Amino acid sequence: MKVVDLVVIGAGLSGCSLLARLHQLGVQGSMAVVEAGRGPGGRTATRRRRDDQTWRLDHGAPGFNVRAPGNSGVEAILAPLRASGTLKREWGLFKGLDHNGRLVEVPEEKLLEGEWLRGHPTMASVCEGLLEQASSRLKRLYGCRIRRLKKTSSGWELSDEQGAVVLMAKQLVLSGTLLAHPRSLSMLAWPDIPLREAVPIGDDPRLDAALDVLENSSASIRWNLMLEIKGLGDQKLPRQIWLTPKAKERWQVERLVFQEQPGSVLGVVVHGLDDGSTITPDRQPGLMAKQEERIRLLLPDLIRQIPGLSGIPGDDLKPLSLGMMRWGAAQPMDHPLPEDLQWCPASGIGFCGDWIEGPGFGRAEGALLSSMALAEQLAASHSMSKPVI
Ligand SMILES: Cc1cc2nc3c(=O)[nH]c(=O)nc-3n(C[C@H](O)[C@H](O)[C@H](O)COP(=O)(O)OP(=O)(O)OC[C@H]3O[C@@H](n4cnc5c(N)ncnc54)[C@H](O)[C@@H]3O)c2cc1C
Protein backbone atom coordinates (compact mmCIF):
# COMPACT_ATOMS: atom_id res chain seq x y z
CA MET A 1 0.00 0.00 0.00
CA LYS A 2 1.28 3.47 -0.91
CA VAL A 3 2.08 5.61 2.13
CA VAL A 4 0.52 9.07 1.75
CA ASP A 5 2.12 12.08 3.39
CA LEU A 6 -0.96 13.13 5.33
CA VAL A 7 -4.33 11.61 6.11
CA VAL A 8 -7.16 13.61 7.66
CA ILE A 9 -9.76 11.61 9.56
CA GLY A 10 -13.09 13.38 9.18
CA ALA A 11 -14.62 15.42 6.34
CA GLY A 12 -16.50 17.92 8.49
CA LEU A 13 -15.86 21.66 8.37
CA SER A 14 -12.48 21.41 10.09
CA GLY A 15 -11.09 18.52 8.02
CA CYS A 16 -12.27 20.03 4.73
CA SER A 17 -11.08 23.54 5.56
CA LEU A 18 -7.69 22.17 6.62
CA LEU A 19 -7.28 20.46 3.25
CA ALA A 20 -8.40 23.59 1.40
CA ARG A 21 -5.96 25.77 3.33
CA LEU A 22 -3.01 23.39 2.94
CA HIS A 23 -3.53 23.57 -0.81
CA GLN A 24 -3.69 27.36 -0.68
CA LEU A 25 -0.46 27.43 1.32
CA GLY A 26 1.22 25.37 -1.38
CA VAL A 27 1.76 22.22 0.66
CA GLN A 28 2.24 19.59 -1.97
CA GLY A 29 2.50 16.20 -0.32
CA SER A 30 0.10 13.38 -1.15
CA MET A 31 -3.05 13.55 0.97
CA ALA A 32 -6.15 11.56 1.81
CA VAL A 33 -9.35 12.14 3.73
CA VAL A 34 -11.34 9.35 5.33
CA GLU A 35 -14.88 9.87 6.57
CA ALA A 36 -17.36 7.59 8.34
CA GLY A 37 -20.36 9.32 6.73
CA ARG A 38 -21.54 8.95 3.15
CA GLY A 39 -19.94 12.19 2.08
CA PRO A 40 -18.43 15.42 3.36
CA GLY A 41 -20.30 17.51 5.93
CA GLY A 42 -19.98 16.03 9.41
CA ARG A 43 -22.19 18.05 11.71
CA THR A 44 -22.97 20.39 8.81
CA ALA A 45 -24.25 17.50 6.69
CA THR A 46 -27.55 17.44 4.82
CA ARG A 47 -30.00 14.56 4.95
CA ARG A 48 -31.33 13.15 1.66
CA ARG A 49 -34.09 10.67 1.00
CA ARG A 50 -34.03 7.62 -1.21
CA ASP A 51 -37.74 7.98 -2.00
CA ASP A 52 -37.50 11.66 -2.97
CA GLN A 53 -34.51 12.88 -4.94
CA THR A 54 -35.42 16.54 -4.41
CA TRP A 55 -35.54 16.36 -0.61
CA ARG A 56 -32.73 18.09 1.31
CA LEU A 57 -32.73 18.72 5.05
CA ASP A 58 -29.93 20.37 7.02
CA HIS A 59 -30.28 18.14 10.04
CA GLY A 60 -27.21 19.35 11.95
CA ALA A 61 -25.99 22.95 12.07
CA PRO A 62 -28.35 24.93 9.81
CA GLY A 63 -25.71 27.65 9.39
CA PHE A 64 -23.09 29.30 11.50
CA ASN A 65 -21.99 32.65 12.79
CA VAL A 66 -18.68 34.45 12.55
CA ARG A 67 -18.02 36.42 15.72
CA ALA A 68 -14.29 36.96 15.27
CA PRO A 69 -13.88 38.06 11.65
CA GLY A 70 -10.53 38.94 10.16
CA ASN A 71 -8.67 35.65 10.19
CA SER A 72 -6.88 35.78 6.85
CA GLY A 73 -6.94 32.00 6.38
CA VAL A 74 -10.65 31.69 7.06
CA GLU A 75 -11.37 34.61 4.76
CA ALA A 76 -9.22 33.08 2.02
CA ILE A 77 -10.97 29.70 2.06
CA LEU A 78 -14.46 31.17 2.39
CA ALA A 79 -13.94 33.76 -0.37
CA PRO A 80 -14.44 31.31 -3.28
CA LEU A 81 -17.55 29.92 -1.57
CA ARG A 82 -18.98 33.39 -1.12
CA ALA A 83 -18.13 34.29 -4.72
CA SER A 84 -19.85 31.20 -6.12
CA GLY A 85 -22.92 31.68 -3.91
CA THR A 86 -22.25 28.42 -2.05
CA LEU A 87 -21.99 30.39 1.17
CA LYS A 88 -24.41 33.25 1.70
CA ARG A 89 -25.49 35.56 4.43
CA GLU A 90 -28.53 33.96 6.03
CA TRP A 91 -31.57 35.03 4.02
CA GLY A 92 -34.25 33.53 6.26
CA LEU A 93 -35.92 35.04 9.28
CA PHE A 94 -35.02 34.24 12.91
CA LYS A 95 -37.56 34.39 15.72
CA GLY A 96 -37.77 33.52 19.40
CA LEU A 97 -40.31 31.38 21.24
CA ASP A 98 -41.17 31.87 24.89
CA HIS A 99 -42.28 29.35 27.52
CA ASN A 100 -45.91 30.02 26.66
CA GLY A 101 -45.31 29.11 23.03
CA ARG A 102 -45.55 32.75 21.88
CA LEU A 103 -43.36 34.11 19.10
CA VAL A 104 -41.04 36.76 20.56
CA GLU A 105 -37.77 38.51 19.71
CA VAL A 106 -34.76 36.22 19.22
CA PRO A 107 -33.13 35.57 22.63
CA GLU A 108 -29.55 36.63 23.26
CA GLU A 109 -27.36 33.73 22.28
CA LYS A 110 -23.65 33.26 21.56
CA LEU A 111 -24.54 31.23 18.47
CA LEU A 112 -26.40 34.17 16.98
CA GLU A 113 -23.89 37.00 17.31
CA GLY A 114 -21.96 38.39 14.35
CA GLU A 115 -22.48 37.51 10.71
CA TRP A 116 -24.76 34.49 10.07
CA LEU A 117 -23.79 32.33 7.12
CA ARG A 118 -25.58 29.47 5.44
CA GLY A 119 -24.67 26.97 2.75
CA HIS A 120 -26.53 27.18 -0.53
CA PRO A 121 -28.35 25.16 -1.67
CA THR A 122 -27.63 23.15 1.47
CA MET A 123 -25.21 23.09 4.37
CA ALA A 124 -23.37 20.08 2.93
CA SER A 125 -22.46 22.31 -0.04
CA VAL A 126 -20.00 24.16 2.21
CA CYS A 127 -17.79 21.14 2.88
CA GLU A 128 -18.18 19.97 -0.71
CA GLY A 129 -17.02 23.42 -1.87
CA LEU A 130 -14.06 23.39 0.50
CA LEU A 131 -12.91 20.02 -0.79
CA GLU A 132 -13.08 21.36 -4.34
CA GLN A 133 -10.38 23.80 -3.27
CA ALA A 134 -8.15 20.98 -2.01
CA SER A 135 -5.62 19.22 -4.21
CA SER A 136 -7.20 17.50 -7.21
CA ARG A 137 -5.12 14.45 -6.28
CA LEU A 138 -6.74 14.19 -2.86
CA LYS A 139 -7.75 10.60 -2.15
CA ARG A 140 -11.27 10.44 -0.64
CA LEU A 141 -12.64 7.51 1.29
CA TYR A 142 -16.26 7.75 2.47
CA GLY A 143 -18.37 5.35 4.49
CA CYS A 144 -15.33 4.11 6.37
CA ARG A 145 -14.98 4.48 10.11
CA ILE A 146 -11.44 4.12 11.36
CA ARG A 147 -11.29 1.87 14.39
CA ARG A 148 -7.60 1.23 14.93
CA LEU A 149 -4.46 3.27 14.64
CA LYS A 150 -1.02 1.71 14.64
CA LYS A 151 2.31 3.48 14.73
CA THR A 152 4.88 1.78 12.49
CA SER A 153 8.37 2.71 11.34
CA SER A 154 6.91 4.28 8.17
CA GLY A 155 4.13 6.19 9.92
CA TRP A 156 0.49 5.53 10.74
CA GLU A 157 -1.51 2.49 9.75
CA LEU A 158 -5.29 2.99 9.79
CA SER A 159 -7.70 0.07 10.01
CA ASP A 160 -11.46 -0.04 9.67
CA GLU A 161 -13.96 -1.81 11.92
CA GLN A 162 -13.41 -5.10 10.13
CA GLY A 163 -9.70 -4.88 10.90
CA ALA A 164 -8.64 -4.21 7.31
CA VAL A 165 -5.81 -1.70 6.81
CA VAL A 166 -7.33 1.04 4.65
CA LEU A 167 -4.62 3.67 4.61
CA MET A 168 -1.02 4.33 5.59
CA ALA A 169 0.28 7.83 6.18
CA LYS A 170 3.37 9.61 7.47
CA GLN A 171 1.25 12.15 9.31
CA LEU A 172 -2.23 11.95 10.71
CA VAL A 173 -4.84 14.55 11.63
CA LEU A 174 -7.85 13.77 13.80
CA SER A 175 -10.63 16.26 13.15
CA GLY A 176 -12.95 14.59 15.65
CA THR A 177 -12.32 13.19 19.10
CA LEU A 178 -13.87 9.76 18.56
CA LEU A 179 -10.52 7.96 18.48
CA ALA A 180 -9.14 9.89 21.43
CA HIS A 181 -12.01 10.57 23.84
CA PRO A 182 -13.15 8.05 26.48
CA ARG A 183 -16.82 8.38 25.42
CA SER A 184 -16.22 5.66 22.80
CA LEU A 185 -15.66 3.19 25.62
CA SER A 186 -19.33 3.23 26.62
CA MET A 187 -21.01 4.63 23.51
CA LEU A 188 -19.44 2.13 21.11
CA ALA A 189 -18.42 -0.50 23.66
CA TRP A 190 -14.81 -0.23 22.52
CA PRO A 191 -12.44 -1.79 25.04
CA ASP A 192 -9.79 0.87 24.50
CA ILE A 193 -9.20 4.44 23.33
CA PRO A 194 -7.57 3.82 19.93
CA LEU A 195 -5.07 6.67 20.04
CA ARG A 196 -4.00 5.88 23.62
CA GLU A 197 -3.59 2.24 22.61
CA ALA A 198 -1.43 3.24 19.63
CA VAL A 199 1.01 5.46 21.54
CA PRO A 200 2.00 4.17 24.99
CA ILE A 201 2.16 6.69 27.84
CA GLY A 202 5.58 8.32 27.99
CA ASP A 203 6.43 7.97 24.27
CA ASP A 204 5.25 11.50 23.44
CA PRO A 205 4.65 13.90 26.37
CA ARG A 206 2.74 16.38 24.19
CA LEU A 207 0.34 13.70 23.06
CA ASP A 208 -0.02 12.52 26.66
CA ALA A 209 -0.94 16.07 27.67
CA ALA A 210 -3.52 16.29 24.86
CA LEU A 211 -5.10 12.97 25.82
CA ASP A 212 -5.19 14.04 29.48
CA VAL A 213 -7.26 17.10 28.53
CA LEU A 214 -9.74 14.94 26.64
CA GLU A 215 -9.95 12.39 29.41
CA ASN A 216 -11.16 15.10 31.77
CA SER A 217 -13.78 16.57 29.47
CA SER A 218 -17.34 15.53 28.70
CA ALA A 219 -18.89 15.42 25.23
CA SER A 220 -22.21 16.92 24.21
CA ILE A 221 -25.15 15.04 22.71
CA ARG A 222 -28.19 16.26 20.79
CA TRP A 223 -31.36 14.52 19.68
CA ASN A 224 -32.84 15.98 16.52
CA LEU A 225 -36.26 14.94 15.28
CA MET A 226 -36.79 15.34 11.54
CA LEU A 227 -40.29 15.96 10.23
CA GLU A 228 -42.10 16.52 6.97
CA ILE A 229 -45.20 18.69 6.82
CA LYS A 230 -47.35 18.81 3.70
CA GLY A 231 -50.07 21.16 2.54
CA LEU A 232 -48.71 24.47 3.79
CA GLY A 233 -49.68 26.51 0.79
CA ASP A 234 -47.83 29.79 0.45
CA GLN A 235 -47.19 30.21 4.14
CA LYS A 236 -43.65 31.49 4.77
CA LEU A 237 -42.04 30.34 7.99
CA PRO A 238 -38.91 31.64 9.71
CA ARG A 239 -35.71 29.69 9.04
CA GLN A 240 -35.06 29.25 12.77
CA ILE A 241 -37.11 29.69 15.92
CA TRP A 242 -34.95 29.83 19.06
CA LEU A 243 -36.41 29.00 22.43
CA THR A 244 -35.86 31.48 25.25
CA PRO A 245 -33.96 30.14 28.29
CA LYS A 246 -37.24 29.52 30.14
CA ALA A 247 -38.75 27.78 27.13
CA LYS A 248 -35.63 25.61 26.79
CA GLU A 249 -35.96 24.65 30.40
CA ARG A 250 -39.63 23.79 29.94
CA TRP A 251 -39.31 21.73 26.76
CA GLN A 252 -35.64 20.71 26.66
CA VAL A 253 -35.51 21.87 23.06
CA GLU A 254 -33.07 24.43 21.68
CA ARG A 255 -34.69 25.52 18.43
CA LEU A 256 -36.84 24.63 15.46
CA VAL A 257 -35.35 24.79 11.98
CA PHE A 258 -37.49 25.00 8.86
CA GLN A 259 -36.45 24.22 5.32
CA GLU A 260 -38.79 24.60 2.39
CA GLN A 261 -38.96 21.68 -0.02
CA PRO A 262 -40.40 21.68 -3.53
CA GLY A 263 -44.22 21.55 -3.75
CA SER A 264 -45.47 23.26 -0.56
CA VAL A 265 -43.68 20.71 1.59
CA LEU A 266 -41.78 21.73 4.67
CA GLY A 267 -38.87 19.99 6.34
CA VAL A 268 -38.59 20.63 10.06
CA VAL A 269 -35.83 19.76 12.50
CA VAL A 270 -36.55 19.97 16.21
CA HIS A 271 -33.23 20.32 18.03
CA GLY A 272 -33.73 18.35 21.23
CA LEU A 273 -31.42 18.68 24.22
CA ASP A 274 -29.90 15.74 26.05
CA ASP A 275 -30.94 14.53 29.50
CA GLY A 276 -27.53 13.06 30.34
CA SER A 277 -28.51 9.38 30.04
CA THR A 278 -25.54 7.11 29.41
CA ILE A 279 -25.55 5.88 25.83
CA THR A 280 -24.38 2.36 25.07
CA PRO A 281 -24.99 0.31 21.90
CA ASP A 282 -27.66 -1.71 23.77
CA ARG A 283 -29.46 1.31 25.20
CA GLN A 284 -29.28 3.54 22.14
CA PRO A 285 -32.40 2.25 20.28
CA GLY A 286 -34.51 2.66 23.45
CA LEU A 287 -33.15 6.15 24.11
CA MET A 288 -33.78 7.11 20.51
CA ALA A 289 -37.42 5.94 20.72
CA LYS A 290 -37.87 7.72 24.07
CA GLN A 291 -36.54 11.00 22.70
CA GLU A 292 -38.68 10.75 19.58
CA GLU A 293 -41.79 10.12 21.66
CA ARG A 294 -40.89 12.98 24.01
CA ILE A 295 -40.49 15.51 21.20
CA ARG A 296 -43.57 14.33 19.30
CA LEU A 297 -45.69 14.75 22.41
CA LEU A 298 -44.56 18.30 23.09
CA LEU A 299 -44.71 19.39 19.44
CA PRO A 300 -48.34 20.60 19.52
CA ASP A 301 -47.48 22.89 22.47
CA LEU A 302 -44.37 24.17 20.73
CA ILE A 303 -46.02 25.13 17.47
CA ARG A 304 -49.51 26.02 18.67
CA GLN A 305 -49.05 29.74 18.15
CA ILE A 306 -46.71 29.77 15.17
CA PRO A 307 -48.60 31.31 12.24
CA GLY A 308 -48.96 28.75 9.49
CA LEU A 309 -48.42 25.80 11.78
CA SER A 310 -51.11 26.46 14.33
CA GLY A 311 -53.36 23.82 12.73
CA ILE A 312 -50.96 21.01 13.57
CA PRO A 313 -51.67 18.28 14.48
CA GLY A 314 -55.11 18.85 13.03
CA ASP A 315 -56.57 16.86 10.20
CA ASP A 316 -54.97 18.77 7.32
CA LEU A 317 -51.42 19.19 8.53
CA LYS A 318 -49.97 16.00 9.89
CA PRO A 319 -46.24 16.01 10.54
CA LEU A 320 -44.64 12.84 9.27
CA SER A 321 -41.66 11.71 11.30
CA LEU A 322 -38.54 11.05 9.27
CA GLY A 323 -36.74 9.71 12.31
CA MET A 324 -34.28 10.87 14.90
CA MET A 325 -30.68 11.86 14.48
CA ARG A 326 -28.42 11.50 17.48
CA TRP A 327 -25.51 13.85 17.23
CA GLY A 328 -22.73 12.56 19.42
CA ALA A 329 -20.81 15.76 19.07
CA ALA A 330 -17.06 15.45 18.95
CA GLN A 331 -16.89 18.60 20.98
CA PRO A 332 -15.99 18.32 24.66
CA MET A 333 -18.29 20.74 26.42
CA ASP A 334 -15.97 22.07 29.06
CA HIS A 335 -12.22 21.66 28.42
CA PRO A 336 -10.92 22.85 25.07
CA LEU A 337 -7.66 21.43 23.81
CA PRO A 338 -5.01 24.16 24.13
CA GLU A 339 -3.86 25.41 20.76
CA ASP A 340 -0.23 24.64 21.58
CA LEU A 341 -1.09 20.92 21.81
CA GLN A 342 -2.70 20.85 18.36
CA TRP A 343 0.39 19.48 16.69
CA CYS A 344 2.48 16.68 18.22
CA PRO A 345 5.52 16.40 15.93
CA ALA A 346 7.09 13.45 17.72
CA SER A 347 4.07 11.29 16.87
CA GLY A 348 3.26 13.04 13.59
CA ILE A 349 -0.28 13.68 14.72
CA GLY A 350 -2.37 16.83 14.68
CA PHE A 351 -5.82 17.83 15.90
CA CYS A 352 -8.40 20.24 14.55
CA GLY A 353 -12.07 20.82 15.19
CA ASP A 354 -14.43 22.89 17.27
CA TRP A 355 -12.97 21.35 20.42
CA ILE A 356 -9.74 23.33 20.15
CA GLU A 357 -9.23 26.40 22.35
CA GLY A 358 -10.10 29.73 20.78
CA PRO A 359 -12.85 32.29 20.24
CA GLY A 360 -14.93 29.83 18.22
CA PHE A 361 -14.79 26.94 20.72
CA GLY A 362 -17.84 24.70 20.37
CA ARG A 363 -19.01 26.31 17.13
CA ALA A 364 -18.40 26.01 13.42
CA GLU A 365 -16.18 29.07 13.54
CA GLY A 366 -13.93 27.21 15.99
CA ALA A 367 -13.65 24.33 13.53
CA LEU A 368 -12.49 26.76 10.83
CA LEU A 369 -10.10 28.70 13.05
CA SER A 370 -8.48 25.57 14.46
CA SER A 371 -7.78 24.30 10.97
CA MET A 372 -6.15 27.53 9.92
CA ALA A 373 -3.80 27.31 12.93
CA LEU A 374 -2.95 23.68 12.22
CA ALA A 375 -2.44 24.33 8.51
CA GLU A 376 0.20 26.95 9.38
CA GLN A 377 1.99 24.50 11.65
CA LEU A 378 1.89 21.71 9.08
CA ALA A 379 3.07 24.00 6.32
CA ALA A 380 5.98 25.06 8.50
CA SER A 381 6.94 21.49 9.36
CA HIS A 382 9.78 20.18 7.23
CA SER A 383 8.37 16.74 6.64
CA MET A 384 5.99 17.92 3.95
CA SER A 385 7.28 19.21 0.66
CA LYS A 386 6.59 22.81 -0.29
CA PRO A 387 7.06 24.33 -3.72
CA VAL A 388 10.09 26.54 -4.31
CA ILE A 389 8.73 30.02 -4.91
C1 LIG B 1 -27.55 19.87 15.81
C2 LIG B 1 -26.37 20.80 15.72
C3 LIG B 1 -26.56 22.15 15.58
C4 LIG B 1 -25.49 23.02 15.52
N5 LIG B 1 -25.70 24.35 15.34
C6 LIG B 1 -24.67 25.18 15.20
C7 LIG B 1 -24.87 26.57 14.96
O8 LIG B 1 -25.99 27.05 14.89
N9 LIG B 1 -23.79 27.38 14.83
C10 LIG B 1 -22.51 26.88 14.91
O11 LIG B 1 -21.57 27.64 14.78
N12 LIG B 1 -22.29 25.59 15.13
C13 LIG B 1 -23.33 24.73 15.29
N14 LIG B 1 -23.12 23.40 15.51
C15 LIG B 1 -21.74 22.95 15.67
C16 LIG B 1 -21.08 22.79 14.31
O17 LIG B 1 -21.84 21.93 13.52
C18 LIG B 1 -19.71 22.22 14.56
O19 LIG B 1 -18.98 23.10 15.37
C20 LIG B 1 -18.89 21.97 13.30
O21 LIG B 1 -19.67 21.43 12.27
C22 LIG B 1 -17.77 21.05 13.70
O23 LIG B 1 -17.00 20.68 12.60
P24 LIG B 1 -15.82 19.68 12.84
O25 LIG B 1 -15.18 19.41 11.54
O26 LIG B 1 -14.98 20.15 13.96
O27 LIG B 1 -16.50 18.34 13.41
P28 LIG B 1 -17.49 17.34 12.68
O29 LIG B 1 -18.42 18.04 11.79
O30 LIG B 1 -18.07 16.50 13.76
O31 LIG B 1 -16.53 16.48 11.77
C32 LIG B 1 -15.80 15.38 12.22
C33 LIG B 1 -15.97 14.30 11.19
O34 LIG B 1 -15.08 13.24 11.51
C35 LIG B 1 -15.72 12.03 11.21
N36 LIG B 1 -15.05 11.01 12.01
C37 LIG B 1 -14.82 11.06 13.35
N38 LIG B 1 -14.18 9.95 13.74
C39 LIG B 1 -14.01 9.21 12.63
C40 LIG B 1 -13.41 7.94 12.40
N41 LIG B 1 -12.88 7.22 13.41
N42 LIG B 1 -13.38 7.45 11.13
C43 LIG B 1 -13.93 8.17 10.11
N44 LIG B 1 -14.51 9.38 10.28
C45 LIG B 1 -14.55 9.87 11.53
C46 LIG B 1 -17.16 12.26 11.61
O47 LIG B 1 -18.02 11.36 10.94
C48 LIG B 1 -17.37 13.70 11.19
O49 LIG B 1 -17.89 13.79 9.89
C50 LIG B 1 -24.17 22.52 15.60
C51 LIG B 1 -23.97 21.13 15.72
C52 LIG B 1 -25.05 20.28 15.79
C53 LIG B 1 -24.82 18.79 15.93
pLDDT in tens, 143-166: 999 999 999 998 999 999 999 999
Residue 355 CB neighbours (<10 A): 29
**Is residue 146 lining ligand 1, measured as CB closer than 6 Å?**
yes
- Per-residue pLDDT band at 383 (split at 50, 70, 90): low
Q: 32 pLDDT exceeds 60?
A: yes
Quick one: which of 238, 230, 224 has its CA closest to 313?
Answer: 230
Whole-angstrom Cα distance, residue 115 to residue 127?
A: 19
Among 38, 43, 149, the mutation site with the greatest number of ligand 1 atoms within 8 A of its Cβ is 43
Strands 139-142 and 31-35: parallel
- The length of the chain in residues reads 389
The CATH superfamily of 3-90+118-218+331-380 is: FAD/NAD(P)-binding domain (3.50.50.60)
How far is CA 173 from its chain centroid? 16
Whole-angstrom Cα distance, residue 6 to residue 375?
A: 12
**Is residue 39 lining ligand 1, measured as CB closer than 6 Å?**
no
Q: What percent of the chain has pLDDT over 70?
A: 95
Under 8 Å CB-to-CB from 221, ≥6 apart: which residues?
274, 279, 326, 327, 328, 329
Q: What percent of the chain has pLDDT over 90?
A: 75
**Is residue 271 lining ligand 1, measured as CB closer than 6 Å?**
yes
Whole-angstrom Cα distance, residue 139 to residue 375?
A: 18
Contact 214, 177 (CB under 8 A): yes
**Is residue 33 lining ligand 1, measured as CB closer than 6 Å?**
no
pLDDT in tens, 322-359: 999 999 766 777 889 999 999 999 999 999 999 999 99
